[in-house]
């Protein structure tokens, strides 16, 4: 085994040992839940009441059909320890194997993605493949349950949807929704081996609608309103006294807007007076881009910070800023 | 016919919305067209997912290089889709306990929630977090003060980078109140409110004109590139 | 020095960036100390836009972001939710991004259920969920909520929810708060909600660092308040939790200090960026002097 491979093997072995010791001795990377019981009784035809609620007092629940289940809420290690110390037999707090496994899976995925910084490798490719598959399916599921069921099928056939998915839904069928249904089926024809021209109709509708919405939105908010917002006083007065700096900055703003617009006007050659004006415009744009770079850097670093917080807080238990555990480090 | 009808549909969709903007009596039609657009947008999610499946299944069946990872993608896709659409492990809604499918597909503790919390979230978040490293590397390799414009850009970047943290406050806190405008944090505000606003306003006006002209070209049928190539 | 820098493997830069973020996180996490924050005018105008509302006023909170930008926008979402709940405002949550509902669930779980357990769903706050279409959604709901949001996120019919009886469209809201990571987001809210109805709709927003400079032309006429990037989040956290915790002598819980904590690694990483740019220009000027092509 060559030297580099040996070093990496030792590093990984020490790291893995450290993680195992950290997990076994301090419970690092573990998750806890609180179980919440729900029980409902059928008091009248079609009427279920929560047996714990005030409404249940109005009914005799003896012998009534019941539905029960337990759901879980996330709990902290501190809650779990306190309930253990209370030695209550009815403690609802317990260790969650699925969520603990999930934290370790999330940490591994985070490290797999970060491993790309060193070198492209199969772990990164695996993580990348998983995210592509999961995110595409996630969007499909969200689109289906949040829009297609309530806003398409729920409008076309409220009684059918209310029978199984959305019991509270009511109303008359609105057959105008056949239009988006038919357009939607035509859109899916794009996947067919032939006849993809059929998908042009819904695409044309999407593009036409987008163009129509954007035309008005951009002209009103980004053109007319911006011109109006630029009409600001060149001489600013407050309580009768002239404010020099406010007036100067307003003048700079107007000069900046006008010169930068001149720069973007490419129908005239940028020579002579126009050229010099455009040059001033470029200077304003360079300051704009410098500000954009500074803010972009700020944005990116915050994203890295939250990932490292997850690794150090939820996985390795090195820090505990939210005081989720009785004994942090 | 195959190209004329789409052009008419484009014009119809766009002009209904434009007319609805100006004539309140037609606002209902504009709303209806916008609602159809919103519903189609969610069907586009289905198209996207199905297209992904198609591409990766083809890659697997053709045994192209990297087809193993396509298998991972397809598996992750199908597992997420199944648990999400079937609301696996989701309890009924507390308002309708006798309707098995009435619960929220995002219920905490369900397999779909698990996939979001421990796969989707860390993976997408880390993908974007990687940009912090690349921005550092790019800044080292590419940012050169070659001319006055570049110096302006870099100088502004330095002021913003310092001014939006405590470093800026610390470095220029010694300046007297009469020169408080030159303190880096105040300079940052001035740069953003005057210079950045001026530059972005000019860009915004230019883009607005561009969008207006592109939209009109599309609605009037002058630009037909979205219909694809000449075949079919 | 020049040779070392010229041939520097970029992985050393990656390592420096990693350490410049990791070490401050660990130190701040252990010591609990972070840098002081001084809010700027935009943070004050955003804060005051909510402070000026009366109990019972209606606020629409649109969470248009996903986990990829949660680092910057999560603290804003938490602080906005806390501020609205503390001011006893009626909160209407919605999302234009598919993963937005998860962000709403987090805000409800971590803020409302933990610190405002007396608030009743359907009377004090409601989660209307996600609808696809971006600006198409805004276009519809500025005149009619019910057409698109026929139910809330849990499937309860819109008009069966007590607090929904008071609203028919976004114009009935006293304030719109948008947390945005891109398109559809603050720009679309300004274009399709505020600009056509400037007297009826007031908007304040929190956005990512990438978007913030692009939204400045809208300030203040179309966008009176804007929190830009994690700095905006930290300033806003300072204002909100000074009022509701520190001014009353209470210690601010750690989960409400995420933005302030993240300013520590920001500072060190920013200094690293400046150092890297200076180092890169050092190479450039040495090469120029030596006449290297």
- Whole-complex ipTM: 0.93
Give yes or no for C291 touching B (CB within 8 A): no
Q: A142: pLDDT confidence band, cut at 50, 70 and 90?
A: very high
Q: Name the minimum distance, in Å, from the CA of B24 to any CA of chain A.
A: 15
Q: Is residue B137 part of a domain?
A: no
Note the pLDDT of residue A170.
80
**Partner-chain residue, chosen from A118, A308, A329, that has the shortest CB–CB distance to C21:** A308
Q: Are residues C7 and C60 in the same domain?
A: no
Cβ distance of C254 and A322 shorter than 8 Å: yes
Give yes or no for B137 touching C (CB within 8 A): yes
Q: Are residues C29 and C164 in the same domain?
A: no
Note the pLDDT of residue C18.
96
Note the pLDDT of residue A286.
96
pLDDT in tens, A199-224: 889 999 999 999 999 999 999 999 99
Q: A326: pLDDT confidence band, cut at 50, 70 and 90?
A: low
CA–CA separation, C151 vs A153, rounded Å?
A: 13
Q: Are residues C50 and C168 in the same domain?
A: yes
Q: Is residue C17 part of a domain?
A: yes
Q: B–C: how many Cβ contacts below 8 A?
A: 160
Give me C108's structure tokens: 């409800």
Measured between CA atoms, the residue of chain A closest to residue C153 is: A146
Cβ distance of C155 and A292 shorter than 8 Å: no
CA–CA separation, C187 vs A225, rounded Å?
A: 13
Residues of chain A contacting B133 with CB distance shorter than 8 Å: 117, 304
A9 CB-near residues (< 8 Å, 6+ apart): A1
pLDDT in tens, A70-100: 999 999 999 898 888 887 666 789 999 999 9
Helix residue ranges per DSSP H, A27-168? 77-85, 97-114, 122-143, 154-156, 158-162
Q: Is residue C68 part of a domain?
A: yes
Measured between CA atoms, the residue of chain C closest to residue A137 is: C98
pLDDT in tens, A43-69: 888 888 888 888 888 888 888 889 999
Note the pLDDT of residue B3.
80
Q: Are residues C52 and C187 in the same domain?
A: yes
pLDDT in tens, A246-276: 999 999 999 999 999 999 999 889 889 999 9
Q: Is residue B136 part of a domain?
A: no
Q: Is residue C212 part of a domain?
A: yes
pLDDT in tens, A266-324: 988 988 999 999 999 999 999 999 999 999 999 999 999 999 999 999 999 999 998 88
For an interface test with C, the pick among B19, B26, B29, B34 (most C C-beta atoms closer than 10 Å) comes out as B34
Is the pLDDT score of A328 beyond 50? no
SS3 content of chain C, % helix, strand, coil (to 5): 55, 15, 30
Judging by DSSP bridges, how do beta strands A32-44 and A66-75 pair with one another? Answer: antiparallel
Residues of chain A contacting C254 with CB distance shorter than 8 Å: 320-323
Residues A139 and C97: beta-carbon distance below 8 Å: no
Residues C169 and C142: beta-carbon distance below 8 Å: yes
**Partner-chain residue, chosen from C38, C155, C279, that has the shortest CB–CB distance to B93:** C155
CA–CA separation, C130 vs C195, rounded Å?
A: 23
Note the pLDDT of residue C293.
53
Give yes or no for A313 touching B (CB within 8 A): no
The mean pLDDT of B180-208, rounded to a whole number, is 94
Q: Is residue B8 part of a domain?
A: yes
Cβ distance of A134 and B76 shorter than 8 Å: yes
Q: What's the structural domain count of chain B?
A: 2
Q: A197: pLDDT confidence band, cut at 50, 70 and 90?
A: confident
- Domain of B2, in residue numbers: 1-62
Q: Are residues C120 and C189 in the same domain?
A: yes
Residues of chain B contacting C231 with CB distance shorter than 8 Å: 164-165
Q: Name the minimum distance, in Å, from the CA of A61 to any CA of chain C.
A: 26
Residues of chain B contacting A205 with CB distance shorter than 8 Å: 9-10, 13, 36-37, 40
Residues of chain A contacting C21 with CB distance shorter than 8 Å: 301, 304-305, 308
Q: B225: pLDDT confidence band, cut at 50, 70 and 90?
A: confident
**Partner-chain residue, chosen from B139, B145, B169, that has the shortest CB–CB distance to C276:** B139
Q: Name the minimum distance, in Å, from the CA of C195 to any CA of chain A.
A: 6
**Partner-chain residue, chosen from B81, B92, B153, that has the shortest CB–CB distance to A137:** B81
Residues A301 and C266: beta-carbon distance below 8 Å: yes
Half-sphere exposure of A129 (CA within 13 A, CB side): 20
Residues of chain A contacting C101 with CB distance shorter than 8 Å: 142, 146
Sheet holding C203-207, edge to edge: C125-130, C90-95, C58-64, C175-180, C203-207, C225-228
**Chains touching chain C at 3 or more Cβ pairs under 8 angstroms?**
A, B
Q: Are residues C18 and C46 in the same domain?
A: no
C154 CB-near residues (< 8 Å, 6+ apart): B93, B95, B104, C127
pLDDT in tens, A19-30: 999 999 989 999
Task: State the angle between helix axes of C70-86 and C229-244 in degrees (0 to 180), rounded to the nearest 10.
Answer: 30
A contact residues 191-210, partner B, Cβ 8 Å cutoff: 191, 196-197, 200-210
Note the pLDDT of residue A329.
35
Residues of chain B contacting C68 with CB distance shorter than 8 Å: 124-125, 127-128
Is the pLDDT score of A186 beyond 90? yes
B23, B39, B62 - which closes a domain: B62
Q: Is residue B124 part of a domain?
A: no
**Partner-chain residue, chosen from B125, B154, B167, that has the shortest CB–CB distance to C68:** B125
CA–CA separation, A28 vs A77, rounded Å?
A: 10
Note the pLDDT of residue A1.
62
Is the pLDDT score of B131 beyond 50? yes
- Domain of C12, in residue numbers: 1-33
Give yes or no for C140 touching B (CB within 8 A): yes
**Partner-chain residue, chosen from B2, B73, B215, that has the shortest CB–CB distance to A133:** B73
Residue with tokens 């940052």: B188
Cβ distance of C253 and A322 shorter than 8 Å: yes
CA–CA separation, C62 vs C142, rounded Å?
A: 13
Q: A–C: how many Cβ contacts below 8 A?
A: 179
Q: Which residues of chain C have pLDDT under 50?
A: none
* Residue among C24, C126, C42 at smallest CA distance from C84: C126
Is the pLDDT score of B4 beyond 80? yes
Note the pLDDT of residue A169.
83
Note the pLDDT of residue B110.
94
Is the pLDDT score of B167 beyond 60? yes
Cβ distance of B142 and C143 shorter than 8 Å: no
Q: Is residue B79 part of a domain?
A: no
Residues of chain B contacting A156 with CB distance shorter than 8 Å: none
* Residue among B35, B108, B107, B115 at smallest CA distance from B80: B115
Rg (chain B; Cα; Å) = 27
Q: Name the minimum distance, in Å, from the CA of B29 to any CA of chain A.
A: 12
Cβ distance of A298 and C231 shorter than 8 Å: yes
Alpha-carbon dihedral of residues C263, C268, C269, C272, nearest 10 degrees?
160
Give me C264's structure tokens: 């520590």
What count of other Cβ atoms lies within 10 Å of the Cβ of residue C158? 19
B contact residues 145-174, partner C, Cβ 8 Å cutoff: 145-146, 154, 157-158, 161-162, 164-167, 169
Give me C87's structure tokens: 């001011």
Residues of chain B contacting A143 with CB distance shorter than 8 Å: 41-43, 45-46
B36, B62, B88 - which closes a domain: B62
* Residue among C89, C79, C136 at smallest CA distance from C110: C79
Q: Name the minimum distance, in Å, from the CA of C260 to any CA of chain B.
A: 11
CATH number at residue C61: 3.40.50
Q: Are residues C64 and C109 in the same domain?
A: yes
Q: What's the structural domain count of chain C?
A: 2
Sign of CA dihedral A291, A293, A295, A298: negative
The DSSP output letter for C211 is T
């Amino acid at each position: 085994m060559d030297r580099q491979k040996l070093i990496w093997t030792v590093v990984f072995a020490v790291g893995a040992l450290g993680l195992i010791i950290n997990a076994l001795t301090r419970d690092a990377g573990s998750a806890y839940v609180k179980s919440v019981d729900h029980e409902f009784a059928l008091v009248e035809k079609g009427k279920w009441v929560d047996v714990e609620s005030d409404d249940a007092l109005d009914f005799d629940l003896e012998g009534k059909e019941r539905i029960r289940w337990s759901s879980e809420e996330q709990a902290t290690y501190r809650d779990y320890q306190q309930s253990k110390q209370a030695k209550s037999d009815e403690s609802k707090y317990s260790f969650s194997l699925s969520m603990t496994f999930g934290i370790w899976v999330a940490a591994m995925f985070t490290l797999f993605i970060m491993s790309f910084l060193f070198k492209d490798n199969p772990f990164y490719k695996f993580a990348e493949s998983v995210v592509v598959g999961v995110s595409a399916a996630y969007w499909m599921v969200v689109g289906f349950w949040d829009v297609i069921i309530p806003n398409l099928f729920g409008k076309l056939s409220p009684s059918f949807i209310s029978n199984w998915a959305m019991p509270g839904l009511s109303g008359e069928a609105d057959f105008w929704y056949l239009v988006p249904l038919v357009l939607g089926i035509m859109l899916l024809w794009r996947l067919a081996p032939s006849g993809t021209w059929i998908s042009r109709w819904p695409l044309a509708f999407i593009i036409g609608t987008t163009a129509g919405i954007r035309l008005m939105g951009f002209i009103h908010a980004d053109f007319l309103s911006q011109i109006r917002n630029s009409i600001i006083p060149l001489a600013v007065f407050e309580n009768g006294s002239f404010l020099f700096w406010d007036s100067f900055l307003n003048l700079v703003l107007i000069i900046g807007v006008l010169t930068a617009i001149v720069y973007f006007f490419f129908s005239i050659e940028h020579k002579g007076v126009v050229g010099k004006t455009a040059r001033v415009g470029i200077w304003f744009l360079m300051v704009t881009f410098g500000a954009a770079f500074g803010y972009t850097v700020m944005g990116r670093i915050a994203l890295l910070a939250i990932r490292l917080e997850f690794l150090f807080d939820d996985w390795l238990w090195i820090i505990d800023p939210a005081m989720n555990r009785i004994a942090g480090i | 016919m195959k190209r004329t009808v789409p052009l008419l549909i484009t014009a119809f969709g766009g002009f209904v919305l434009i007319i609805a903007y100006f004539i309140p009596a037609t606002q209902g039609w504009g709303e209806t067209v916008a609602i159809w657009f919103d519903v189609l947008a969610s069907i586009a999610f289905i198209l996207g997912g199905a297209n992904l499946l198609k591409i990766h299944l083809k890659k697997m069946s053709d045994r192209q290089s990297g087809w193993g990872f396509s298998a991972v993608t397809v598996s992750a896709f199908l597992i997420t889709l199944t648990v999400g659409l079937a609301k696996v492990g989701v309890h009924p809604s507390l308002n309708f306990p006798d309707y098995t499918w009435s619960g929220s597909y995002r219920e905490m503790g369900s397999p779909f929630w698990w996939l979001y919390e421990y796969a989707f979230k860390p993976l997408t978040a880390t993908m974007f977090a990687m940009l912090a490293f690349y921005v550092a590397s790019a800044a080292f390799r590419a940012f050169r003060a070659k001319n006055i414009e570049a110096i302006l850009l870099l100088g502004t970047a330095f002021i913003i980078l310092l001014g939006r943290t405590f470093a800026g406050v610390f470095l220029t806190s010694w300046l007297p109140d009469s020169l408080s405008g030159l303190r880096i944090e105040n300079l940052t505000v001035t740069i953003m409110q005057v210079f950045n606003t001026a530059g972005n306003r000019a860009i915004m006006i230019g883009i607005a004109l561009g969008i207006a002209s592109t939209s009109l070209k599309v609605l009037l049928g002058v630009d037909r590139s979205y219909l694809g190539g000449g075949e079919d | 020095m020049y040779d070392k820098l010229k041939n520097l493997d970029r992985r050393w830069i990656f390592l420096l960036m990693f350490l410049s973020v990791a070490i401050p996180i660990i130190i701040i996490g252990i010591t609990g100390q972070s840098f002081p924050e001084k809010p700027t005018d935009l943070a004050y105008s955003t804060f005051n836009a909510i402070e000026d509302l009366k109990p019972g006023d209606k606020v629409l909170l649109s969470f248009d972001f996903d986990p990829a930008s949660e680092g910057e926008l999560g603290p804003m979402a938490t602080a906005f939710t806390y501020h609205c709940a503390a001011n006893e405002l009626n909160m209407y949550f919605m999302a234009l991004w598919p993963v937005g509902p998860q962000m709403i669930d987090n805000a409800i779980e971590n803020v409302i259920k933990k610190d405002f357990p007396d608030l009743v769903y359907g009377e004090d706050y409601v989660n209307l969920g996600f609808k696809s279409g971006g600006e198409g959604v805004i276009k519809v709901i500025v005149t009619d909520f019910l057409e698109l949001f026929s139910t809330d996120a849990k499937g309860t019919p819109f008009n069966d929810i007590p607090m929904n009886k008071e609203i028919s469209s976004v114009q009935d809201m006293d304030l719109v708060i948008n947390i945005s990571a891109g398109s559809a987001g603050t720009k679309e809210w300004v274009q399709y909600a505020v600009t056509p109805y400037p007297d009826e709709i007031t908007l304040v927003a929190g956005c990512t660092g990438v978007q913030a400079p692009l939204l400045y032309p809208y300030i203040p006429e179309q966008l009176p308040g804007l929190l830009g990037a994690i700095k905006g989040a930290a300033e806003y956290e300072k204002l909100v939790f000074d009022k509701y915790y520190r001014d009353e002598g209470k210690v601010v819980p750690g989960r409400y200090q995420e933005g302030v904590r993240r300013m520590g690694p920001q500072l060190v990483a920013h200094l690293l960026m400046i150092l890297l740019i200076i180092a890169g220009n050092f190479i450039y000027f040495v090469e120029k002097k030596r006449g290297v092509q």
